[in-house]
Amino acid sequence: MHASPRLLAPVLALALALTSCATDGPEAEGGGAVLRLIDPGNAGPLAYAKREGILEERLAEVGATIEWGGSYASFTAAAEALRTGDINIQQGALSPAVGALATRDDLRIFSVTDPVDDPAPLADGLVVPPNGEVETVGDLVGARVAVNRAGKGEYLLLRALEKEGIDPAEVERVHLDPQEASSAFASGEIDAWWAIVDAYPEAVANGAETIVAGRDVDDSDLGMFAARTELLEEYPEAVEVFHEVYNELLAQGREEPELFQNVFLDQGPTAQSGRRLEDSIETTRAATDFRYPTEDDLDDIETVAGVFREYGVVSETVEAREVVFDLPAALQ
């Protein structure tokens, strides 16, 4: 779908910036890069890599090290840690990255991936209480809907309303982080919630019903990795190693998805079982590789940015070439 070979220099710049803004800078004590990532939790490629020391070993080949930081529910939730440099590489979707990049120049997108489609389980959705008044997107007129501000949830809600011909001004968007939205949804303070990441399967497991999912309304909101520009500019070799290792892990996960589940614990609140474990296995099996951005990907970035600009989510026009980093060019 995104076959154009032209790559973008802004992506590399973003990754470098993410590293350099850290409290101690992007350099290790010995002079190499320090990649700072969020704690990967109990499942997924990075959790497996952390347990096995895979990134530590491979990054050492280019004189770089890795530090694992705190936990964040989404890219939007990690924004402050990215700003301060406590983390300097972060995964997410284009929408929250575009929302962040509209007001800052120290981050850049350096790799992207296509959304996982059928037969993989849904990764997000507009959820409502069972037997409630809201049963379709059309019923949202006059309703209160929780979304993460300038993030994936807000973007997908706007696209869903567009598709139904509904003016977003007729729907009250309530900006809440996942924890706040979960509480408000449970107490009935909001009528619907576009839940994403771990919050979505948790909501469904607690009885919420899905009206529509992101894959039903949009295919422009790609997955992506962003990094601090200083890290990308100063240590492109370290970022390239990260990119290569992550894709190797994805390939392994497609063959052996069970390895990436319950990596550290098979009991307790972070352990998965039953339907959620089955869904996580299938999502791992369906994961698509990351690539350096192409011309087609730039078009998708412009689409996402255009939606946010049209509805006043961001006040600045976002130029795709200014928010991506051309890592291959930096390596040369």
The tens digit of pLDDT for each residue in 53-63 reads: 999 999 999 99
267 in the same domain as 323:
yes
**Per-residue pLDDT reduced to its tens digit, 208-244:** 999 999 999 988 899 999 999 999 999 999 999 999 9
In a domain, 2, yes or no: no
Among 176, 195, 217, where does a domain finish? 217
Whether 309 is in a domain gets the answer yes
194 and 248 within one domain: no
Give the pLDDT band of residue 9 (cuts 50, 70, 90): very low
pLDDT band at 197 (very low <50, low <70, confident <90, very high): confident
Q: 101 in a domain, yes or no?
A: yes
Q: What is the dihedral of CA 302, 239, 37, 271, to 10 degrees?
A: 90
Q: Taking the model in full, what pTM does it have? A: 0.86
Domain residues for 178? 124-217
Same domain, 35 and 18: yes
Does 91 share its domain with 146? no
DSSP for 36-50 reads EE---TTSSHHHHHH
Average pLDDT over residues 42-49: 97
pLDDT for 8 beyond 70 = no
Domain end (from 165, 185, 217): 217
Q: Which of 16, 12, 108 is nearest to 332 (CA)?
A: 12
What CATH number does residue 86 fall under?
A: 3.40.190.10
- 3 within domain boundaries: no
Give the pLDDT of residue 210: 97
Q: Is 306 exposed, middle or buried (0-12, 13-18, 19+ CB in 10 A)?
A: middle
Structural domain includes residue 149: yes
Is there a single domain that holds both residue 153 and residue 204? Answer: yes
Q: Judge if 327 and 224 occupy the same domain.
A: yes
Do 250 and 166 lie in one domain? The reply is: no
My answer on whether 137 and 153 are in the same domain is yes
Q: DSSP 3-state assignment of 280?
A: helix
The pLDDT-based confidence of 3 (bands split at 50, 70, 90) is very low
pLDDT above 90: residue 143: yes
Task: Kindly list the strands in the beta sheet with 223-228, ordered across the sheet, starting from the edge strand earlier in the chain.
Answer: 89-93, 223-228, 107-113
Beta bridge partners of 35: 66
Check pLDDT > 70 for residue 16.
no
DSSP H/E element including 145: strand 144-147
Q: Do 326 and 248 belong to one domain?
A: yes
Cβ count within 10 A of residue 137: 21
Please give the structure tokens belonging to residue 280: 């996580």
Q: What is the pLDDT of residue 11?
A: 40
Structure-block tokens of residue 287: 């994961």
Q: How many domains does the chain have?
A: 2
The answer to whether residue 18 scores a pLDDT higher than 80 is no
Residues 203, 141 share a domain:
yes
* Res 326 pLDDT > 60: yes
pLDDT confidence band for 2 (50 / 70 / 90): very low
Which of 217, 247, 277 is the endpoint of a domain?
217
Residues 94 and 138 placed together within one structural domain of the fold: no
30 confidence band (pLDDT: 50, 70, 90): low
- The residue among 167, 133, 161 whose CA lies nearest residue 147 is 161
One domain for residues 59 and 111: yes
Written as six digits, the tokens of 111 are: 């790799």
> What length is written for the chain?
332
